[in-house]
Amino acid sequence: MNKEKWFAAAKEAGFENFEIFQELNEERTFTWFEGELDTYVTSHVLGTAFRGMYEGKMVNASTEDTSDDQMDDVLASMKMQAAMITSDDAEMLRNKQEIQLLENQTFEHFDATDIKALLKNTEEKIFGFDKRIFQVNHLTFQESTSKRTIANTLGIDLEEESGVHVLVAGAAAKEGDEIRTGYEMEKVDQLSDLDLDDFVKRLGEDVLGQLNASIPSSGTYPVIIEKGALTQLFAAFSSMFSGEQIHKGISPLRSALNQKVFSEKITVIDDPACADAADRCAFDDEGCPVKRKTLVENGVFKEMLHSTKSALAMNTQSTGNGFRASYDSPIGVRPKNCWIVPGEKDLDLTLMTAAGNFLDLLCNVREVGSDLKWGIRTIVTPSILFDSVSISGK
């Protein structure tokens, strides 16, 4: 793709400004089952997205065909799109800004023979952990790399690469007629640094710990919600910090800035460049530099997240949270590397089925656990002990 040629054609077609976003994703996935390599899949996807200002309207297009002979058709389609837009929301492409790029880290592609040996060894160790484990129902090693580039007619010309290796295993255990399953995931920086015994121990204890669980009577109890389950809940509600949602009046925090919304034990951070996270970046998908934000401090809602569009709507500045869900999706306000700050205590977990409003739960915290674990997630929480939770029991 000749980007300068596209920029010149866009200008000739009447676009005030024009932007090209590209994302190259490559993957290798090894799946192991019953002592042998079950599947080996590779993928290579280059996606391109275009944004342009035409007659004051922001228009978008995307394609996997990056040949220059598509140029006229893409630009014509975007101009037709502009004629259909009725929204008066202010939007703009960003100008070039100074960005502190992340340090370059060489990504190592592991040898396939070593990966297969790891999977074989992992399966054997899982079966050897306890005789009640009768099946390894999932065992995968995945290598993923991503390269983003953003260039526009206002001077932005950015590039960033990332990569991650992940080991995922699931197992099933049986005692009497009771069967329970569990899974574990681990980011692998170097094969030599992976503590496989600890990985298998965590998986084994997760599965076996579910056997012979007692069912309490229905009632209200202090309850620990484990970090995995709590992370899923927190991620589902994370859009409440979006300036776009707040501006539209559909966030539960829409009128709560600088007010106490959760327990004083809850502090929430969003930092796309967080060094502990697997997927980190120096700029968002609009080319805006990212920064660390304290969204909630000791229970008080301190700051919301913004893209350029939501910031314009609320007469403020972007926080560097204008991200795409994928190359062909529109830019929206999204948290990235967002977490509840862990405490210092280890919490003993008990399995129960809890009911209640999640936001009310966060107002009723007795202790925040110390077991925060990123893995490959971009939103995480530790386990939390809540004072009073309704339990659906016997």
pLDDT tens-digit readout, 110-165: 999 999 999 999 999 999 999 999 999 999 999 999 999 999 999 999 999 999 99
Mean pLDDT calculated for residue range 78-95: 93
Q: What percent of the chain has pLDDT over 90?
A: 80
Residue 46: the pLDDT is: 95
Block residue for tokens 């999640």: 358
Kindly report, residue by residue over 179-226, the tens digit of the pLDDT.
Answer: 999 999 999 999 999 999 999 999 999 999 888 877 777 778 788 888
Q: Is the pLDDT of residue 32 over 60?
A: yes
Dist CA 9 CA 198 (whole Å): 57
Dist CA 164 CA 149 (whole Å): 19
Residue 274 Cα distances to 11, 25, 86, 271, angstroms: 38, 21, 39, 5
Residue 392: the pLDDT is: 65
Residue 9: the pLDDT is: 96
Q: Is the pLDDT of residue 349 over 70?
A: no
What is the sign, positive or negative, of the torsion defined by CA atoms of 278, 280, 285, 291? positive
**pLDDT grade, residue 354 (50/70/90)?**
low
Dist CA 332 CA 189 (whole Å): 31
Residue 101: the pLDDT is: 87
Dist CA 79 CA 329 (whole Å): 19
**pLDDT grade, residue 229 (50/70/90)?**
confident
Dist CA 265 CA 297 (whole Å): 9
Per CATH, domain 1-213 is 3.30.2290.10: yes
Least confident of 3-17, 324-338, 377-391: 377-391
- The answer to whether the beta carbons of residues 193 and 318 sit under 8 Å apart is no
Mean pLDDT calculated for residue range 88-101: 93
Residues whose CB falls within 8 Å of the CB of residue 259, separated by 6 or more in sequence, listed in order: 300, 301
Dist CA 20 CA 82 (whole Å): 17
Count of all residues that appear for the chain in the document: 394
Phi/psi for 162 (5° steps) reads -150, 165
Across the chain, mean pLDDT equals 92
Dist CA 205 CA 194 (whole Å): 18
- What does the DSSP 8-state code read for residue 191? G
Residues whose CB falls within 8 Å of the CB of residue 216, separated by 6 or more in sequence, listed in order: 352, 391, 393, 394
Residue 226: the pLDDT is: 85
Residue 390: the pLDDT is: 75
The pair of three-digit structure tokens given for residue 184, joined into one six-digit string: 């574990």
Residue 41: the pLDDT is: 97
Q: What are the residue ranges spanned by the domains of the chain?
A: 1-213, 219-391
Q: Is the pLDDT of residue 355 over 90?
A: no
